[in-house]
Structure 1
Amino acid sequence: MDFTIYLEEAAQVSIAFVIGAAIGIEREFRSKPAGFRTMIFICVGSCLYTILSKESNTISPDRIASNIVTGVGFIGAGVIFKEGITVNGLTTAALIWITAALGMSIGYHNYPLAFVVSSMVVVALFVLEPVQQFINKVHKVKDYKIRANDTELIFKEEMEAYFKQKGITFRCMKMIKENNEAVYTYRIGAPKFDYDIVNNYLLQHRSVVSFDM
């Protein structure tokens, strides 16, 4: 029995362990749903399935790879959730997807590609965060979902007149009627990113039933 094969495969899953851990540390630090251990399991599991698919004489490796992608898609969908009108978890879902791809590349002995892509992921997670924060500061808008008991558009006209007076940029994205209430979705950009003037107006207005952003 040639034990060198098993040693090589053990080295492969060990590398997958390290790469999954490196990506998972960042998610764990930010208290995301898929954290340290989850990313390790995804990377090692994808690597293991890929190794087993190469050793099988009855199952096409392409079918194993496609099933890995499908299974990872279900895991990624589980970490995406909607809070108000904001969708969270997309970055974590994308990381789950690429972590599985890294595990598969290690299973296929493509170490240079796995190293390059892993470096890109780490740079995007740690180094490029200040760049993203700068972009958010330069161009920052918020989506508001406003529920009002006025269905005759009087509130809408008053609110938009107030926004124009305060120099607030806005765009009405959606307007519907639910249970005798008007529900508006606005994309709003406040001067100097001071959204307190928007929030205070909505809190004090007699027609506003509720709002979230």
Structure 2
Amino acid sequence: MDITIYFEEAAQVSFAFVIGAVIGLEREFRSKPAGFRTMILICVGSCLYTILSKESGDNSPDRIASNIVTGIGFIGAGVIFKEGISVNGLTTAALIWITAALGMAIGYHNYPLTIVVAGMVLIALFVLEPVQRFINRLHRVKDYRIHTVSIPPNFKYQIEQFFIEHDMTFRCMKVIKEDSDAIYIYRIGSPDRNYDAINQFLLNHVDVRSFDV
């Protein structure tokens, strides 16, 4: 093999290193589970597997590429976790998935597409974050998971009266019995999008053990 090919492949994995590092910096800055080194390894590893699949002499190099996607799926699933009624880690999982795709694109010498998509990813991570925060402030509905001490007989009536007095829309989504306690899941809409009154009411209520939003 011509030695220039080795230099070309070294340049490919080096470029994958840079792309993974740039994306990983944002995750590291936000203290996410998959950070700087993880994104570098994912991008470089995907690039390397793609290069090897082309050199293997196999008539179906796409099989290795499809296996990369499968393996990345397991890594992505590992960063998704449920906390109360919220699911966290979806953005990081999606970022792992697209970082692997960028590494594969580099392995196939598709540098223009890699640069364009990497730019889109950075715009989504940095530029669009204030837009997302603005949209989140416009949310008129929130889900509350309220865990009560034992099963208070008048709690449901009390909290719903509180909603009515504050002109809030509400719907009891589910009531769950857990050992000797009760869990109420409410979907609540506040006309002024200010949920501090609800939070304060639940914090001060003697029958509330904990609540998640």
**Fold shared per TM-score above 0.5:** yes
Question: What CA deviation, in whole Å up to 9, does each residue of 1:34-76 have, x standing for no partner?
Answer: 1111101100100000000000024731220111011111111
The separation in 2 between residues aligned to 1:102 and 1:173, in whole angstroms, is 42
> How far off its partner does 1:191 sit?
4.8
The separation in 1 between residues aligned to 2:77 and 2:35, in whole angstroms, is 15
Matched, 1:16 2:10: no
The answer to whether the 8 Å contact 1:33/1:79 transfers is yes
Question: What CA deviation, in whole Å up to 9, does each residue of 1:97-137 have, x standing for no partner?
Answer: 00000000111111121111111101101111111111111
- Cross-structure match for 1:31: 31
The separation in 1 between residues aligned to 2:203 and 2:132, in whole angstroms, is 31
- Structure 2 gaps of 5+ residues are none
Partner of 1:87: helix, strand, or coil?
A: strand
Partner of 1:109: helix, strand, or coil?
A: coil
> How far off its partner does 1:143 sit?
2.2
The separation in 1 between residues aligned to 2:68 and 2:59, in whole angstroms, is 14
> How far off its partner does 1:157 sit?
2.3
Among all aligned residue pairs of Structure 1 and Structure 2, give the percentage whose two residues are the same amino acid. 72
- Cross-structure match for 2:144: 144
The separation in 1 between residues aligned to 2:210 and 2:120, in whole angstroms, is 43
- In angstroms, what is the RMSD of aligned CA positions? 1.8
The separation in 1 between residues aligned to 2:58 and 2:201, in whole angstroms, is 67
Normalised TM-score (structure 1)? 0.91
- Structure 1 gaps of 5+ residues are none
Matches within 5 A, 1:79-158: 79-139=79-139, 141-148=141-148, 149-150=150-151, 154-158=154-158
- Cross-structure match for 1:3: 3
- Cross-structure match for 2:167: 167
> How far off its partner does 1:172 sit?
2.1
The separation in 1 between residues aligned to 2:69 and 2:59, in whole angstroms, is 16
Stretch deviating more after TM superposition (180-189 or 92-101):
180-189
Normalised TM-score (structure 2)? 0.91
Stretch deviating more after TM superposition (203-212 or 115-124):
203-212
Stretch deviating more after TM superposition (136-145 or 82-91):
136-145
Stretch deviating more after TM superposition (52-61 or 28-37):
52-61
Query: Structure 1: which amino acid aligns with 2:198?
Result: V
Partner of 1:100: helix, strand, or coil?
A: helix
Partner of 1:170: helix, strand, or coil?
A: strand
How many positions carry a matched residue from both structures? 212
The answer to whether the 8 Å contact 1:151/1:177 transfers is no
The separation in 1 between residues aligned to 2:52 and 2:77, in whole angstroms, is 26
The separation in 1 between residues aligned to 2:137 and 2:96, in whole angstroms, is 28
The answer to whether the 8 Å contact 1:151/1:180 transfers is no
